[in-house]
Amino acid sequence: MITAVDVIRAKRDGGRLSDEQIAWVVDAYTRGAVAEEQMAALAMAIFLRGMDARETATWTGAMIDSGERLSLAVDRPTVDKHSTGGVGDKITLPLAPLVAACGAAVPQLSGRGLGHTGGTLDKLESIPGWRAALSTDEITRQLNDVGAVVCATTEGLAPADRKLYALRDVTGTVESIPLIASSIMSKKIAEGSSGLVLDVKCGSGAFMKTPEQARELARTLVEIGTAHGVATTALLTDMSVPLGRAVGNAVEVAESVEVLRGGGPADVVELTVALAREMLALAGIDADPAAVLASGEAYETWCRMISAQGGDPEAPLPVAEHVHVVPAPRDGILEQLDAYAVGVAAWRLGAGRARREDPVQHAAGVVLQAKPGDRVSAGEPLLELRTDTPEAVAGALEALEGAVVVGDGPVSQRPLVLETVRA
């Protein structure tokens, strides 16, 4: 007979958990037969001792089996994307309609922001009328009609992950690569897509701070996807500087629309097209996403996608009541703009949340008037801090202390896409 204490001891002592032990403990925890304190002890043992590739794949499968799998009756090849989270990471917004405009179906089940990283659903909810909660039938219908859907994860997908994530959040075990990877992949595999591209970020604004950590996570994610029959590729991308020039909710939607209309910041366009190429390759579609983006077809798909979920793509977006300008301290070259600090500043302005139940301000955020490598003049605007609560500005300014460095240059530009990891 398997018991929770035996499983905890096995991992505590550096042993390998059997398939049977993993299946039992995940199922029993989901049902409430394993106590929170016991799973907390096991999560810490996994955090300290790790899991090998088979354990991680089996743990992922057990979390998938804790709930339902989406069965998508779609007449196009399905392919999805997931980002490990960053600052100004709005890529899902232009990417989903772009890949759909190229002929694939993109079922993008997304989440909300927590801490310094933004959430896709929070951004889209700044569009008047748009709704995140869709039924499985609505998801399938929209994929067939439009080709793309961005919505909340259905309640039945991987309930073990939802319960375990909340526990990890309060027990200091979030940063375990096997637990991060199984959390991501259990939901993505349960969505039912045949292909998955992962954007694994590294740098100050990411959870993985170094390329080595990001590479280990990327390889683990690709191994899990491959083990479960999902064609999986990962890109390692830089998150030492915020993506684009907008960090927040409505401001990121506005920037995404600029990209879909053929403009927008070069780094957002570059990463959107790079991820689209990988997604289309997995879907077996021969199309040039850069040409489709320039043609305006992706913007038309965006409008249909937003309208299908009750939103008005032409409606004005929320505008912050208060704007505080941070000026350049001297003439010179902007040498550093720390992504993590900017993310924390946006969070404190109201764009993010400290707890999952907290509300967000749709208009809050940070707008960058310069990026590293740009020449600036003393007193000219570097950052705009936008909020509906002016008293929040002091905390945002505190977060930005030391984050901005203006010098004499030159600045060595780190590539945006660092490497690709395939099965």
Q: Inform me whether the pLDDT recorded for 151 exceeds 80.
A: yes
pLDDT tens across 58-97, in order? 999 999 999 998 888 899 999 999 999 999 999 999 999 9
| 193 and 292 housed in the same domain | yes
Neighbours of 213 (CB within 10 A): 16
Could you identify the residue written with the tokens 């929070």?
122
Does residue 176 form part of some domain? yes
Q: Which of 314, 340, 360 is the last residue of a domain?
A: 314
User: Can you tell me the distance from the alpha carbon of 352 to that of 159, in angstroms, rounded to the nearest whole number?
Assistant: 24
pLDDT per position as a tens digit, 193-217:
999 999 999 999 998 999 999 999 9
The pLDDT tens digits for 297-336 are 999 999 999 999 999 999 999 999 999 999 999 999 999 9
Question: Is 161 among the residues known to form the active site?
Answer: yes
Residue 327 lies in a domain: yes
The verdict on 42 and 143 lying in the same domain is no
CA 60 remoteness from chain centre: 19
Catalytic hit among 81, 90, 116, 187: 187
Mean per-residue pLDDT for 339-349? 96
Phi-psi map region of 115: left, alpha, beta (phi>0 left; psi -120 to 50 alpha): left
| Cα angle 177-172-354, degrees, rounded to a multiple of 5 | 105
Strand runs labelled E in 156-282: 195-202, 231-238, 246-248
Of the listed 161, 199, 238, 267, which one is catalytic?
161
Residues 104-129: what's their mean pLDDT?
89
Q: What pLDDT is recorded for position 236? A: 98
The one catalytic residue among 11, 81, 82, 245: 82
Residue 115 has pLDDT above 80, yes or no: no
**Which is the catalytic residue, given 168, 201, 348, 362?**
168
| Token pair listed for 289 | 């996403």
Total structural domains within the chain: 3
Nearest in space to 195 (alpha carbons), one of 284, 297, 314: 284
- Predicted model pTM: 0.94
CB atoms within 10 A of CB 31: 10
pLDDT, position 186: 94
- Whether residues 303 and 367 fall in one domain: no
The per-residue pLDDT for 60 is 97
| pLDDT reported for residue 111 | 83
To the query of whether residue 82 is one of the catalytic residues in this protein, the response is yes
Q: Which residue has the tokens 């993008």?
A: 108
Residue 92 belongs to some domain of the structure: yes
Q: Could you tell me the CATH number of the domain that includes residue 134?
A: 3.40.1030.10
- 225 located within any domain: yes
From 110, 176, 183, 193, active-site residue = 183
| 282-307 mean pLDDT | 97
